[in-house]
Structure 1
Amino acid sequence: MNPTVNIVSEIPETLHESLNIYLAAHPDWDQTRVLTAALSLFLLQNGHGDRHAARVYLETLFHNC
């Protein structure tokens, strides 16, 4: 298993509300899983990702499938 770190961040309230709506409709996802997928995809799309970011992204997407 990959080691993890905690990140504390403020996000707009409307984004938080949208996240809660998504999570209510997708019980197999949680806040950590969504944020991990989003961050790893951001890094891949913006050219700062490497094979480690790609692996985290794919593992996050297909977790619990």
Structure 2
Amino acid sequence: MNTSVSIFAEIPETLHESLQGYLETHPDWDQDRVFSAALSLFLLQNGRNNTPEALQSCRQAARIYLETLFQSDRLA
């Protein structure tokens, strides 16, 4: 089952402007897709615990990251 959770976050204005610029030039991406890719990549790069739970979490983050990068169903 693929569930979603909404997140409310404040970001610096300059980061928001950069995001808006990116989204204007990449119509197949939206804000949710960018945040999902960015957060999953961050977790992949910063997960350093070798417990079974951490390894499972890393695999899930990798799956979400790759799915987010390569999804094309948002073009419809």
Same fold (TM over 0.5): yes
The structure that is helix-richer by fraction is 2
Coarse TM-score class (shorter-chain normalised)? over 0.9
Shift >6 Å, 4+ stretches: none
1:60 to 56, 60, 68: 68
Where relative contact order (Cα < 8 A, 6+ residues apart) is larger, the structure is 2
Aligned partner of residue 68 in structure 2, secondary structure = helix
User: What is the number of residues matched between the two proteins?
Assistant: 65
Structure 2 residue matching 1:50: 3-state secondary structure: helix
Q: Which has the larger radius of gyration?
A: 2
Unpaired runs of 5+ residues, structure 1, are none
TM-score, length-scaled by structure 2 = 0.80
User: CA–CA distance in 2 between the matches of 1:40 and 1:55?
Assistant: 9
Task: State the Cα distance separating 1:13 from its structure 2 match.
Answer: 0.4
Structure 2: give runs of 5+ residues left out of the alignment.
49-56
Counterpart amino acid of residue 35 in structure 1: F
Distance, in Å, in 2 between the alignment partners of 1:28 and 1:10 is 24
Aligned-residue Cα RMSD (Å) equals 1.5
Match for residue 20 of structure 1?
A: 20
AA aligned opposite 1:45:
Q
| Identity across the alignment (%) | 69
